């Protein structure tokens, strides 16, 4: 038996609890993006790693949770430079990895604000994760959608 500790125990536990955003709210943001000519102001971050099957919500960036803690500063810098106003994390059900990564980013934002660095970035978690997205919208807005994969969750 492998007594290796869980990956998340090797880094500090997140202190922040980030608010959720519903699948319907996110879909509206996609709809608004199609209507308005302004640059997109939100970034989706899919933090799944080896379960990154069946597709991902379009425009998502895949940053596996297992290596995210070390990347949070870089993600914040990129979001600020690109004028991203919201970063939305998700995993399978957004009950573990998604909220954990969101919390780590928010903790970092809170820490740097104490030394005077300000950001307008809002950190959110997609409620129900990609499983709820697929349930609500079927294969809509899923890049690489594999219907057969999602049948196991019905």
Q: Domain range for residue 149?
A: 18-153
- Give the model's pLDDT for residue 2: 67
Look at residue 108 and tell me if it is in a domain: yes
Distance (Å, whole) CA 97 – CA 92: 8
Q: Are strands 86-90 and 122-126 parallel, antiparallel or unpaired?
A: parallel
**Long-range CB contacts (< 8 A, 24+ apart) of 26-29?**
26/57, 26/88, 26/126, 26/133, 27/137, 27/141
Look at residue 52 and tell me if it is in a domain: yes
- Give the model's pLDDT for residue 109: 97
| Integer-rounded Cα radius of gyration of the chain | 16
Number of domain units in the chain: 1
Look at residue 1 and tell me if it is in a domain: no
User: pLDDT digits over 74-128, tens only?
Assistant: 999 999 999 999 999 999 999 999 999 999 999 999 999 999 999 999 999 999 9
Look at residue 12 and tell me if it is in a domain: no
Distance (Å, whole) CA 85 – CA 42: 6
- Give the model's pLDDT for residue 29: 92
- Give the model's pLDDT for residue 46: 97
Look at residue 11 and tell me if it is in a domain: no
Look at residue 3 and tell me if it is in a domain: no
Please tell me whether residue 57 adopts helix, strand or coil conformation.
Answer: strand
- CATH number of the domain to which 112 belongs: 3.40.250.10
- Give the model's pLDDT for residue 60: 94
- Give the model's pLDDT for residue 90: 98
Look at residue 95 and tell me if it is in a domain: yes
User: pLDDT digits over 29-72, tens only?
Assistant: 988 877 777 778 999 999 998 777 889 999 999 999 999 999 99
pTM score, two decimals? 0.93
- Give the model's pLDDT for residue 32: 82
Averaged pLDDT, 148-153: 87
Partners of residue 126 on adjacent β-strands: 21
User: pLDDT digits over 7-19, tens only?
Assistant: 889 899 999 999 9
Look at residue 7 and tell me if it is in a domain: no
């Amino acid at each position: 038996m492998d007594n290796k500790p869980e990956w998340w125990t090797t880094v500090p536990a997140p202190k922040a609890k980030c608010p959720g955003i519903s699948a319907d709210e996110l879909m509206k943001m996609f709809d608004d993006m199609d209507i308005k000519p302004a640059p997109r102001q939100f970034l989706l971050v899919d933090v799944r790693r080896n379960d990154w099957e069946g597709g991902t919500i379009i425009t998502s960036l895949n940053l596996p949770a297992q290596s995210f803690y070390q990347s949070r500063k870089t993600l914040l810098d990129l979001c600020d430079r690109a004028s991203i106003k919201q970063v939305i994390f998700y995993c399978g059900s957004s009950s573990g990895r998604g909220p954990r990564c969101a919390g780590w980013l928010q903790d970092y934002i809170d820490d740097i604000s104490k030394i005077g660095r300000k950001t307008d970035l809002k950190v959110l978690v997609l409620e129900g994760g990609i499983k709820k997205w697929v349930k609500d919208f079927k294969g809509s807005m899923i890049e690489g959608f594999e219907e057969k994969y999602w049948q196991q969750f019905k």
